[in-house]
């Protein structure tokens, strides 16, 4: 731990190499279940069956909803032990027989045993800012499903309904309690959508698509709810990260800001980098500049407002500190912002009080946050018509 990172990269790499050596060119293990669809070379992409070379209950290996309380090293150890046996597939032709078999594995609600013959020893590790890390991979010559996949009722219905559009299916599954990670996997393997429009979807795209579709569905209800009547501030500390949020009374609005300190995953420079993006009441029509993290945090915020039965203007910020050097996927943002909103909030007396309280828990000071936040500048600088007009329409 002398390098200052959140985990020991030497130990993690040694474990991954040990897994690859143990696997050789034969893979037999229990898939969590898990399938990965790449994006390089689109529309011809790599589709991989994922399994560690062990059998038993491996469900935790691909269940991000349960990872927020684990050390980063434990998550990496699980993910980097997943061997990738891959083949090339055309995303427009998801009905090949081997893909149909793999699709049933991906939709299973419990681990499924796989047997695969690989072309050589697995090599390489995969790190991505959207997708959880993956272990070594090799071309897959053949594979066999040794167990019996079991689909849950909701997923079985969505898979079998060829008249249900992909967006409708995503919302249907979410409302029936299917975790967003499972919904994203189903979308990725071409199990959702209307008839011939079904396609394989690269995993990183499917994750953000589900976060986006579900949050927009929730916000459709939230916009019809009464406005929040107070200012609430939430703070949550994670592994070399701080997440915080301020909820202001008003119609829906949202802003996401990331502050990357030097020598972190996406900031190898020697200076602080702060970036943000936002949307107003009607949402946005273009893709957010900060990518998947923006939508992952928006989903958590929309869920919280739906539970409160209120709409609000929401600022969510994240500070990433030195030592957080490995990209581990947008699940980290989604699950920790969900935890953030389970913390007891501070009730601020006004906007400046909220900013001061936020600054007590972050390295950036009040003026820094105001300079980088459009929402804060509006809250601190704009006056509302309700200050001069009563609810009955009379001038005060």
The pLDDT assigned to 7 comes to: 59
pTM above 0.85, yes or no: yes
Q: Say if CB 63 and CB 82 are below 8 A apart.
A: no
Enter the tokens of residue 72. 């980063």
pLDDT tens digits for range 113-122: 999 999 988 8
Task: Give dist(CA 175, CA 66) in Å, integer.
Answer: 19
Sign of CA dihedral 345, 350, 352, 353: negative
Cα(150)–Cα(160) distance, integer angstroms:
14
**Are 314 and 247 in contact, with CB atoms under 8 Å apart?**
yes
What is the structure's pLDDT at 147? 76
Q: How far is 324 from 326, CA to CA, in rounded Å? A: 6
The dihedral built from the CA positions of residue 153, 156, 161 and 164, taken in this order, carries a sign that is positive
Omega prior to 33 cis, within 30 of 0 = yes
Identify the three-state secondary structure at position 318.
Answer: strand
> Is the distance from CB of 37 to CB of 134 less than 8 angstroms?
no
Contact 21, 116 (CB under 8 A): no
Q: Which residues pair with 10 in a beta bridge?
A: none
Torsion of the alpha carbons at 316, 334, 7 and 2, rounded to the nearest 10: 0
Phi and psi at 45, nearest 5°, equal -130, 165
Specify whether the CB–CB gap between 43 and 98 falls below 8 A: no
To the nearest whole number, what is the mean pLDDT of the chain?
Answer: 90
Q: Which of 294, 304, 307 is nearest to 333 (CA)?
A: 294
**Residue whose tokens read 């040990």:** 18
What average pLDDT does the segment 68-77 reach? Answer: 89
pLDDT in tens, 157-168: 999 999 999 999
Identify the helix (H) or strand (E) that includes residue 306: helix 292-308
- % the chain with pLDDT above 70: 90
pLDDT digits (tens, 9 = 90+) for 262-303: 977 777 778 899 999 999 999 999 999 999 999 999 999 999
The pLDDT assigned to 83 comes to 92
Q: What is the pLDDT at residue 299?
A: 98
Please tell me the predicted confidence (pLDDT) of residue 393: 53
Q: Which residue(s) pair with 86 in the sheet?
A: 48, 139
Instruction: Label residues 217-234 b or e (16+ Cβ within 10 Å = b).
Output: bbbeebeeeeebeebbbb
Asked if residues 228 and 312 have their Cβ atoms less than 8 Å apart, the reply is yes
Per-residue pLDDT band at 146 (split at 50, 70, 90): confident
25's tokens:
């060119």
String of DSSP letters for 22-39: HHTTEEEEEE-S-EEE--
3-state secondary structure 196-247: HHCCCCCHHHHHHHHHHHHHHHHHHHHCCCCECCCEEEEEEEECCEEEEEEE
Which sequence spans correspond to the domains of the chain?
Answer: 9-145, 153-222, 231-385
CATH, domain 9-145, list 1.10.600, 2.40.50, 1.10.1060, 1.10.12: 2.40.50
Q: Tokens 């079998």 label which residue?
A: 160
Where helices occur in 122-202 by DSSP H, the ranges are 153-160, 166-175, 180-188
Q: How far is Cα 336 from Cα 75, in angstroms, rounded to an integer?
A: 14
- In whole angstroms, how far apart are CA 231 and each of 245, 277, 353? 10, 21, 9
pLDDT at 382 over 70: no
Supply 322's token pair: 């030195």
């Amino acid at each position: 731990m002398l390098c200052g990172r959140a985990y020991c990269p030497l130990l993690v790499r040694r474990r991954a190499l040990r897994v690859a050596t143990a696997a050789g060119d034969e893979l037999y293990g229990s898939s969590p279940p898990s399938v990965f669809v790449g994006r390089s070379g689109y529309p011809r992409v790599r589709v991989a069956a994922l399994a560690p070379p062990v059998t038993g209950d491996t469900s935790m290996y691909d269940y991000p909803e349960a990872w927020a309380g684990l050390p980063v090293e434990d998550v990496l150890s699980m993910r980097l032990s997943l061997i990738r046996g891959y083949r090339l597939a055309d995303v427009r032709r998801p009905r090949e027989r081997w893909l149909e078999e793999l699709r049933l594995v991906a939709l299973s609600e419990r681990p499924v045993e796989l047997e695969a013959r690989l072309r050589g020893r697995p090599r390489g590790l995969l790190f991505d800012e959207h997708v959880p890390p993956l272990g070594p991979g090799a071309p897959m010559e053949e594979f066999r499903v040794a167990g019996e996949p079991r689909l849950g009722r909701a997923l079985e219905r969505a898979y079998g309904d060829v008249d249900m559009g992909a967006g409708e299916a995503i919302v249907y599954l979410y409302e029936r309690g299917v975790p967003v990670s499972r919904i994203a996997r189903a979308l990725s393997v071409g199990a959702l959508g209307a008839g011939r429009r079904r396609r394989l979807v690269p995993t990183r795209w499917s994750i953000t698509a589900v976060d986006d579709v579900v949050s927009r569905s929730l916000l459709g209800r939230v916009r019809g709810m009464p406005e929040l009547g107070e200012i609430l501030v939430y703070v949550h500390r994670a592994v070399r990260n701080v997440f915080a949020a301020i909820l202001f009374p008003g119609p829906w609005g949202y802003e996401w800001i990331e502050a990357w300190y030097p020598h972190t995953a996406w900031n190898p420079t020697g200076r602080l980098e702060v970036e943000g993006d936002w949307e107003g009441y009607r949402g946005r029509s273009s893709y957010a500049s900060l990518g998947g993290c923006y939508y992952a945090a928006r989903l958590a915020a929309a869920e919280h407002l739906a539970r409160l039965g209120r709409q609000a203007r929401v600022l969510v910020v994240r500070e990433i500190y030195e030592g957080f050097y490995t990209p581990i996927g947008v699940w980290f943002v989604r699950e920790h912002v969900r935890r953030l909103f389970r913390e007891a909030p501070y009730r601020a007396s006004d906007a400046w009080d909220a900013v001061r309280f936020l600054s007590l828990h972050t390295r950036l000071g009040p003026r820094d946050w105001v300079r980088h936040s459009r929402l804060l500048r509006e809250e601190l600088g704009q006056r509302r018509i309700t200050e001069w007009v009563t609810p009955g329409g009379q001038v005060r």
